Amino acid sequence: MRPQGERRSPLPTDASRDPAGMEPAARIEQLGGVASLEQLRAVGITLDVITTARRLGRVHHVRRGWYSVPAADRRLVEAVRIRGQLTCISAAAAIGVWVWDDRRLHVAVPGNGGRLNARVRGGPPPAEDDAVVLHWRDRTRAPAMARQTLREIVQHVVECQPPQLALAVLDSVLEQRRATERWLRDAIRALPRGAVLAGCLDAGAGAGGESILHWHLRAAGIAFETQVVIPGLYRADVRIGKSLLVEVDGREHHATVAGFERDRRLDRELQARGYVVLRVAYRELVLEPERVMESILAVVRAGRHRRAVTAG
């Protein structure tokens, strides 16, 4: 059975305590925090009941035919207000998939969507808003849901993002088991860059930075292994040759003194066995990949990645 890309939340158990207020809010929460009148009517909620919930402050009006709960994701609300759907990295981030956030709102709008609203009241039109990226697609229909499907989301990511960042998103989808590799390949293979990215997928790549590193190593023609077990010590992110280990430190790495000291002890043990250890931050891989690759290439050119190592 194919894994679903989006997880459903159970209906809160207190949804029936106040049919005039809690029921619409609970249903909207179940639908992701923002829902259309069409969706609500499909589950038996009338406009009169929604109006009562609005008066009680439990439901907000986003635009004609669309409603949200007070705590709804701001990105979803703004996408719907524009008259589109949340997509690409904005939608991926909203469901918990790793992205490099460019701090812009990615919105899919219909090909004939000429009458778009401002993201915020009184703001500029979406086409003139630097905080908005409009994804115009023939396949984008008039919105029925606030967020696009996982299939549409990954397709927009592949078409919009630099390939190394797109790969990181795709690997995160696999790592979180939101889709199978076969399903993901099928979703992107027809896109111009889809075939190349499909051949690089790695569910074991971890969070973001490792996928980006893998992309740059392949581009440089450097052979490497991933998730290599170093007996008695740990599992290395990347090994090049016999002795070069490259570790990608995540967003919260070294958040504690204990973590920093643990890594220093590990590095000393690895060096004692003959390994060369390079630690890079994921921000470096995104913002300064040339510097990271130059450090790796310097070790490779000097032949230090071929040094003999001991088992411990």
Q: pLDDT digit string (tens) for 250-259?
A: 655 445 556 6
Give the pLDDT mean for 257-279: 86
User: Model confidence at 70, in pLDDT bands (50, 70, 90)?
Assistant: very high
Over residues 257-277, the mean pLDDT reads 86
Q: Cα separation of 8 and 87, whole Å?
A: 18
What pTM, to 2 d.p., does this model score? 0.85
**Residues 265-291, mean pLDDT to the nearest whole number:** 94
Residue 11 pLDDT > 60, yes or no? no
Kindly report the CATH number that applies to the domain delimited by 22-72.
Answer: 1.10.10
* pLDDT, averaged across the chain: 89
Per residue in 111-137, pLDDT (tens digit) is 765 689 999 989 999 999 999 999 987
Find where tokens 């778009």 sit: 116
Domain residue ranges of the chain, discontinuous segments joined by +: 22-72, 79-198, 209-306
Strands (E), the chain: 34-36, 60-63, 66-68, 85-86, 105-110, 132-137, 225-230, 234-240, 244-249, 276-281
SS3 (DSSP) at 45: coil
- The pLDDT of residue 219: 95
Spatial separation of the C-alpha atoms in residues 238 and 215, rounded to whole Å: 12
* pLDDT class of 232 with cuts at 50, 70, 90: very high
How many Å apart are CA 34 and CA 71, to the nearest integer? 10
pLDDT at position 79 is 97
Read off the tokens for 56.
Answer: 């009680």
Establish whether domains 22-72 and 209-306 are of one fold.
Answer: no
CATH architecture of 209-306: 3-Layer(aba) Sandwich (3.40)
